[in-house]
Amino acid sequence: MELCGLTVHELKDKLKKREISAADILDSCLQRTHQVEEQVKAFITITEETARETARVLDEKGEYPGLAGIVCGLKDNLCTRGVRTTCASRMLEDFVPGYDATVVKKLKAQQAVILGKLNMDEFAMGSSTEYSSFYPTRNPWDLKRVPGGSSGGAAAAVAAGQVIYALGTDTGGSVRQPAAFCGVVGMKPTYGRVSRSGVVGFASSLDQVGTITRDVTDCALVLNQIAGYDHMDSTSANLEVLDYTSSLVPEIKGFKVGVLQEYFQEGIHPGVKETIKRALLKMEEMGAIVEEISLPHIKYALPTYYIIAPAEASSNLARFDGVRYGLRDLEADNVEEMYINSRSLGFGPEVKRRIMLGTYVLSAGYFDAYYLKALKVRRLIKNDFDRAFEKYDVLVTPTVPTAAFKLQEHARDEDLLAMYRSDIATVPANMAGLPAISVPGGFVDEMPVGLQIIGKAFAEDTILRVAYAFEQHTDYTARKPSLGVK
Amino acid sequence: MVLTKQKIEHVAMLARLKLDDEETELFSEQLNSILAYVEKLDDLNTEGIEPLVHVLPINNVFRDDVARPGMPREELLANATMVEEGQFKVPRIV
Amino acid sequence: MVLPNYEAVIGLEVHVELKTQSKIFCSCSTAFGAEPNTQVCPVCAGMPGALPVLNRQVVEFAIKTGLALNCEIAGMSKYDRKNYFYPDLPKAYQVSQYDQPICRTGYLEIEAEEGKKRIGINRVHIEEDAGKLIHQGAITTSSYSLVDLNRSGVPLLEIVSEPDLRTPREACLYLEKLRSVLLFLGVSDCKMEEGSLRCDANISIRPRGETRLGTKAEIKNMNSFRSLERALEYELTRQMEVLEDGEEVVQETRTWDEGQQATFSMRSKEEADDYRYFPDPDLVPVVVDQEWVQRVRESLPELPDAARQRLMEQYELPAYDAGVLTMTRDTLDFFDECIRHYDDAKVVSNWIMGEMSRLLNQHNLEISASQVSPSALVRMLRLIDEGTISGKMAKTVFEEMFTTGKEPDVIVKEKGMTQISDESALEPLVVQVLEANPEVVEDYRGGKTKALGFLVGQVMKATRGQANPKLVNQILKRHLDKS
Higher pLDDT, A409 or B10: B10
Strands C115-128 and C155-161: antiparallel
pLDDT at residue A485, rounded to an integer: 47
Cβ contacts of B29 on chain A, cutoff 8 Å: 413
The answer to whether the beta carbons of residues A196 and A227 sit under 8 Å apart is: no
Higher pLDDT, A379 or C459: A379
Interface of B with A in 32-91 (CB under 8 A): 33-35, 37-42, 44, 46, 49-56, 58, 61, 63, 71, 75-76, 78-82, 88, 90-91
The ipTM value here is: 0.97
Cβ contacts of B2 on chain A, cutoff 8 Å: none
pLDDT of A463 higher than 90:
yes
* Residue-wise pLDDT tens digits, A278-315: 999 999 999 999 999 999 999 999 999 999 999 999 99
Smallest CA–CA distance, residue B92 to chain A, in Å, is: 5
Distances (CA, A) of C50 to C25, C128, C294: 10, 16, 35
Between chains, do B63 and C56 touch, taking CB under 8 Å as contact? yes
In-domain check, residue A396: no
* Residue-wise pLDDT tens digits, C39-57: 999 999 999 999 999 999 9
Smallest CA–CA distance, residue C295 to chain A, in Å, is: 25
CATH T-level fold of B5-43? Histone, subunit A (1.10.20)
Least CB–CB distance from C81: residue in A97, A203, A315: A315
Averaged pLDDT score across all residues of chain A: 96
In-domain check, residue A79: yes
In-domain check, residue A26: yes
Between chains, do C92 and A319 touch, taking CB under 8 Å as contact? yes
Count of all residues that appear for chain A in the document: 486
Cβ contacts of B16 on chain C, cutoff 8 Å: 85
In angstroms, the first-to-last Cα distance of chain A is 7
A234 is catalytic: no
Q: Which of A91, A100, A196, A360 to mutate to test the interface with B (most CBs of B within 10 A)?
A: A360
Between chains, do A378 and B76 touch, taking CB under 8 Å as contact? no
What percentage of chain B has pLDDT greater than the value 70? Answer: 99
* Residue-wise pLDDT tens digits, C339-360: 999 989 898 999 999 888 898 8
Q: How many domains does chain A have?
A: 1
Degrees to nearest 5, angle at CA A316 with A311 and A321: 120
Between chains, do B18 and A234 touch, taking CB under 8 Å as contact? no
Between chains, do C48 and A95 touch, taking CB under 8 Å as contact? yes
- Return the exposure string of C411-441: e unless at least 16 CB atoms fall within 10 Å of the residue's CB, then b: bbeeeebebbbeeeebeebbeebbeebeebb
Cβ contacts of C94 on chain A, cutoff 8 Å: none
Amino acid at A30: L
Q: The domain spanning residue A83 has which CATH number?
A: 3.90.1300.10
Interface of A with B in 317-346 (CB under 8 A): 318, 321-326, 328, 330, 332-341, 343-344
Return the closest-CA partner of residue A395 out of A384, A379, A409, A406: A384
Its domain, for residue A90, covers 3-250+406-478
Residues in chain C predicted with pLDDT less than 50, given as ranges, are: 269-270
In-domain check, residue A292: no
pLDDT at residue B64, rounded to an integer: 98
Q: What's the distance, CA B33 to chain centroid?
A: 21
pLDDT of A102 higher than 70:
yes
pLDDT of A416 higher than 90:
no
Higher pLDDT, A413 or B55: B55
How many angstroms separate the CA atoms of B83 and A93, rounded? 19
Strands A256-260 and A289-293: parallel
In-domain check, residue A10: yes
Between chains, do B55 and A416 touch, taking CB under 8 Å as contact? no
pLDDT of A486 higher than 50:
no
SS3 B42: helix
Cβ contacts of B46 on chain A, cutoff 8 Å: 373, 376-377, 380
Least CB–CB distance from A324: residue in B23, B58, B88: B88
Distances (CA, A) of B21 to A415, B25, B31: 21, 6, 15
* Residue-wise pLDDT tens digits, B15-52: 999 999 888 988 999 999 999 999 999 999 999 999 99
Query: Catalytic one among A28, A128, A132, A150?
Result: A150
What percentage of chain A has pLDDT greater than the value 70? Answer: 98
Interface of B with A in 8-37 (CB under 8 A): 8, 11-12, 14-19, 23, 26-27, 29-31, 33-35, 37
Least CB–CB distance from C41: residue in B71, B85, B91: B71
Q: Which of A75, A315, A341, A366 to mutate to test the interface with C (most CBs of C within 10 A)?
A: A315
* Residue-wise pLDDT tens digits, A31-45: 999 999 999 999 999
pLDDT at residue C441, rounded to an integer: 86
Between chains, do B31 and A360 touch, taking CB under 8 Å as contact? yes
pTM listed for this prediction: 0.90
pLDDT at residue A144, rounded to an integer: 95
Cβ contacts of A86 on chain C, cutoff 8 Å: none
pLDDT at residue C18, rounded to an integer: 98
pLDDT at residue C259, rounded to an integer: 87
How many angstroms separate the CA atoms of A358 and B34, rounded? 12
In-domain check, residue A176: yes
Task: Search chain C and give the residue with CA nearest A322.
Answer: C87
Smallest CA–CA distance, residue A364 to chain C, in Å, is: 6
Between chains, do C35 and B86 touch, taking CB under 8 Å as contact? yes
How many angstroms separate the CA atoms of A77 and A79, rounded? 6
Between chains, do C46 and A319 touch, taking CB under 8 Å as contact? yes
Q: Which of C38, C58, C93 to mutate to test the interface with B (most CBs of B within 10 A)?
A: C38
Between chains, do B49 and A376 touch, taking CB under 8 Å as contact? yes
Span A93-111, average pLDDT: 97
Domain boundaries, chain B: 5-43
Interface of A with B in 12-71 (CB under 8 A): none
The HSE-up count of residue B24 (CA atoms within 13 Å, CB side) is 15
Q: Which of A362, A370, A378, A431 to mutate to test the interface with C (most CBs of C within 10 A)?
A: A362
Smallest CA–CA distance, residue A51 to chain B, in Å, is: 23
pLDDT at residue C371, rounded to an integer: 87
Strand order in the sheet with B87-91: B83-84, B87-91, C144-148, C132-135
Cβ contacts of B53 on chain A, cutoff 8 Å: 205, 375
pLDDT at residue C428, rounded to an integer: 84
pLDDT at residue A309, rounded to an integer: 98
Q: What residue ranges define each of the domains in chain C, with the CATH number in brackets?
A: 6-293 (no CATH), 300-415 (no CATH), 423-480 (1.10.10.410)
Between chains, do C48 and A319 touch, taking CB under 8 Å as contact? yes
A75 is catalytic: yes
* Residues near C343 by beta carbon (within 8 Å), at least 6 away in sequence: none
Query: Catalytic one among A28, A133, A174, A247?
Result: A174
Least CB–CB distance from B53: residue in C20, C140, C281: C281
Query: Catalytic one among A12, A75, A117, A480?
Result: A75
How many angstroms separate the CA atoms of C129 and C158, rounded? 11
Task: Search chain C and give the residue with CA nearest A80.
Answer: C49
Q: Which helix (H) or strand (E) holds A249?
A: none
Between chains, do B46 and A234 touch, taking CB under 8 Å as contact? no
In-domain check, residue A382: no
